[in-house]
Structure 1
Amino acid sequence: MFTAKPRGSFTKILCTPEYYHSPGTLEDHSAKTFKRPVWTKLLAYLKRNKYKSDLVLFTKWDRFSRNTSDAYSMIDILRKLGVEAQAIEQPLDLSVPENKMMLAFYLAAPEVENDRRSINVINGMRTARKAGRCAAAAPLGYANCTDESGKKYIVPVEPSASAMKWIFEEIASGHYTIKEIYRRALLKGLKGGLNNLYIAIRNPVYCGKVTVPKYKDEERRLVDGIHTPIISEGLFYRAQEVMDARKVSPVSEATKVDSIDQLQLRGFLICPICSR
């Protein structure tokens, strides 16, 4: 993408050291949005040099934007800076009223294509889930695999799988906090952060179930997965009951502790033994 300024009888392509010769000017981000590093840099350059450039050139309109409303807004912004947006392979003289219809087509077509692709992906993911397959990234304790037909599935991997089983057992016992269980689980081979663990222990995939999310008029439901469960269904729901009972209370109540008034940091110090 370049900006161009007429100079005499030819068009001069601006290649200023402050912009085009600086590192990282290769645009490799999706055109779904204008929040792209190189585009942001180019727009800032045009704003600093208002009315000093005539054109912003790109190969096709779908390289400019794949969102119709955003594209019209950006064209208006460029026009106020004295710059015309123009596609090299799909040139349009927008001073001709009829060409605005072609512009609308060029901008809408890629957005429709994106929407159709998105719908196909969603339908594909839901079909896989309804069949009991986990087509997304494998949760802690599992790894993604692909069968001979190219379909994805998950398998338990050690030592993380055993660590996750131990975690559910400890949660169900109710003897330790999640943070304490997490610290001990790291020594057993668990891989991943604490936030990932909080998400994982709510996932029924560990007891052999796959979640089919709510979509349009279809309600959320669980189906039997084709993968090997790490824990029993009973253990999973016992752990959920303990987690629900440990929901964080309001701050005003959570900071109330039994301690002497002279302790300046009461409510903030944590006991390394009992975590109170």
Structure 2
Amino acid sequence: MKKQNYKSDETNVIIYCRVSTDEQRQGTSVDVQEERLKAYCAYKGYNIINIPEFHDCKEDESAKTFEKRPVMQAILKYIRKNRGKVQKLLFLRWNRFSRDVIEAPSVVGDLLKIGVEPNAIEEELNYNSSSWPVLLGAYIGIAQSDNIARSLATIDGIRATLKSGKCSNKAPRGYKNVRESKHRCYVVINEEAAKPIRTAFNELSKGVISANYARKRYCPHIPESTFLDMLRNPFYMGKIRVPAYKDEPEELVQGQHEALISEEVFYKVQDVLDGKKKSKPKLEKAINPDLFLRRVIVCPKCGHAFTGSRSKGNGGYYTYYNCCEDAKHMRVRAEEANEAFARYVSCLKPNEAVLRLYEAVLLDVQGGAKREIRSEIYALQKQLNDKRKQIEDAEDMMITDKGHSDRYTRILERYEKDARELETRIELLETGNRGNIEPKLDYAISLINNLDKYIRDAPIEVKLKLIGSIFDGKIEFDGKSYRTNSYNKVLDLIYEQTNELRGVTAQEKGADCSTPRFSTRTRARTGMDCSNGV
């Protein structure tokens, strides 16, 4: 790093030049500022030093804050690190230094404390005079007032543009800005970019897919947060959102641009995002209650699934299952097949002793959990009682020692906060402890013990859930009997335990239809009694 040339017999200064983008367009060049500052230093005989990070100390940033100006921050850091080596910080005018009437005097005061004089060569302050704070406030205040006036004018201009239905900024995704002249610009659809966005809106409006899936499927290049904001933007249905301002509420106005989607699609998407429309596909076709096995059972000859049909015969209409590959393979009355299946699953009824043991274990587990909760509630209640005693003592001290009432007020507030937290914890534990497992357990045992009844009488959705929980795969049906090699392993284990509890021999197991195996046939023939005798 080049060594700085500090001269003890001269005044060492750092010059600072700043211009914003708008000012640069108006011709207030940093080069002009630098030229005038260097000429001033040459006239005064000042020695200009440069900081290592920024050789020319020029900045193109706003003067609203000091934190967001890297050159100014580097200058202040350099001055603090090299105390006594810099005597002045010079700039053209005070609005180059700051436009914040609150922050600027604080920075000026800090610089003066370490022996550095900040000053503007065209609005010079005499720090030996008592009037310099007034002049500083006037210079910075005028700059800030000008900023506020321009900001208000900008806001009014943007709102006027939005109310006229025009885009006031960069066009959203799927559109592009077109400028014909300085005062003639508009927005048109960019069809290449708009196509996937339009598709995402249309598909999401159907309520079948989620917003995240739509983004990944149709617009993977758009970030998630940006995509969600895009879905909420009424610009795509041809509207312009004018935000609320002062006493004016937010409003939507008709835009001068072409809509990418219809208003109907846009508001359907809003319903999906708000959870008012379930994002679940509908069933292709309602399942006939008389043919609930049509997607479960398969033909033993070809392995294809069964389908169903209705035929008119003597006495009315009759429903049949038949092989979807070839109806000649299998055709059977639906009510006979359904009843045979009900008797078939009745063979899966476990032993009463197993159910009672299962019930006892669950109740014991819940009882142990309840005991632990009661013990914790008791301990918390004891802490709460102690805390309430402390509150009472603090209240008594506030009355007797009024000279320290503020101190006891703070202590009392802390105690009361602790007490509220303890009460909340006790309430949560008591609420969770009120749950009673007995009704749920009774229902579960009733269901397990009466599968055939539920297969006969339960709603179609319940029947399908039961079948799915018992059988892992398809079930073969030859017109009279059912068989499968794919049972739920947990159920298979329970039935082995049931046989052991009942003392069934290996020979009896082979004949007993209540003992399903992965490698053996389990049958329920029409007219056969599959009772376990439990």
Match of residue 224 from structure 2: 194
Residue pairs, 1:166-177, within 5 angstroms? 166-177=199-210
Match of residue 7 from structure 1: 8
Structure 1 unmatched ranges of 5 or more = 247-276
Match of residue 62 from structure 1: 95
Inter-CA distance 5–122: structure 2 relative to 1 (3 Å threshold) = farther
Inter-CA distance 9–211: structure 2 relative to 1 (3 Å threshold) = closer
Residue pairs, 1:92-131, within 5 angstroms? 92-131=125-164
Residue pairs, 1:46-61, within 5 angstroms? 46-61=79-94
> What is the rounded CA distance, in whole Å, between the counterparts of 1:6 and 1:65 in structure 2?
29
Match of residue 263 from structure 1: none
Query: Under a length normalisation based on structure 1, what TM-score does the superposition of the two structures give?
Result: 0.79
**Structure possessing the higher radius of gyration over alpha carbons:** 2
Contact 2:10 2:47 in 1 (8 A): no
Match of residue 29 from structure 1: 61
Inter-CA distance 148–59: structure 2 relative to 1 (3 Å threshold) = closer
> What is the rounded CA distance, in whole Å, between the counterparts of 2:56 and 2:218 in structure 1?
42
Deviation at 1:20, TM superposition (A): 4.1
Contact 1:67 1:111 in 2 (8 A): yes
Deviation at 1:185, TM superposition (A): 1.8
**Aligned residue-pair number:** 239
Matched, 1:79 2:124: no
Contact 1:179 1:194 in 2 (8 A): yes
Matched, 1:236 2:266: yes
Match of residue 189 from structure 2: 156
Matched, 1:140 2:173: yes
Query: Under a length normalisation based on structure 2, what TM-score does the superposition of the two structures give?
Result: 0.42
SS in 1 for 2:191: coil
> What is the rounded CA distance, in whole Å, between the counterparts of 1:23 and 1:182 in structure 2?
47
With 139-148 and 115-124 compared, the bigger mean Cα shift is at 139-148
1:224 is aligned, of 254, 257, 266, to 254
Inter-CA distance 222–243: structure 2 relative to 1 (3 Å threshold) = same
What whole-Å deviation, never above 9, does each CA across 1:78-103 have from its counterpart, x for those lacking one? 11222111111211102212343322
> What is the rounded CA distance, in whole Å, between the counterparts of 1:240 and 1:147 in structure 2?
35
Structure 2 counterpart of 1:160, which letter?
A
> What is the rounded CA distance, in whole Å, between the counterparts of 1:214 and 1:208 in structure 2?
19
SS in 1 for 2:176: strand
Inter-CA distance 186–23: structure 2 relative to 1 (3 Å threshold) = farther
> What is the rounded CA distance, in whole Å, between the counterparts of 1:132 and 1:21 in structure 2?
47
Inter-CA distance 22–216: structure 2 relative to 1 (3 Å threshold) = closer
Match of residue 326 from structure 2: none
Inter-CA distance 58–148: structure 2 relative to 1 (3 Å threshold) = closer
With 120-129 and 144-153 compared, the bigger mean Cα shift is at 144-153
Deviation at 1:153, TM superposition (A): 2.6
Match of residue 41 from structure 1: 74
With 69-78 and 138-147 compared, the bigger mean Cα shift is at 138-147
Match of residue 252 from structure 1: none
Structure 2 unmatched ranges of 5 or more = 12-44, 277-534
With 207-216 and 160-169 compared, the bigger mean Cα shift is at 160-169
Match of residue 235 from structure 2: 205
Contact 1:129 1:210 in 2 (8 A): yes
Higher relative contact order, structure no. (Cα contacts within 8 Å, ≥ 6 residues apart): 1
Contact 1:133 1:152 in 2 (8 A): no
What whole-Å deviation, never above 9, does each CA across 1:133-172 have from its counterpart, x for those lacking one? 1111111111112355614432110212122111111211
Deviation at 1:214, TM superposition (A): 0.2
> What is the rounded CA distance, in whole Å, between the counterparts of 1:25 and 1:131 in structure 2?
43
Structure 1 counterpart of 2:63, which letter?
A
> What is the rounded CA distance, in whole Å, between the counterparts of 2:88 and 2:243 in structure 1?
46
Contact 2:197 2:219 in 1 (8 A): no
Instruction: Among all aligned residue pairs of Structure 1 and Structure 2, give the percentage whose two residues are the same amino acid.
Output: 34
Structure 2 counterpart of 1:226, which letter?
Q
What whole-Å deviation, never above 9, does each CA across 1:189-248 have from its counterpart, x for those lacking one? xx64332211111000111110110000000010111110011111100000001118xx
Match of residue 179 from structure 1: 212
Give the structure with the higher percent helix: 2
Contact 2:53 2:74 in 1 (8 A): no
Deviation at 1:68, TM superposition (A): 1.0
Superposed CA RMSD: 2.5
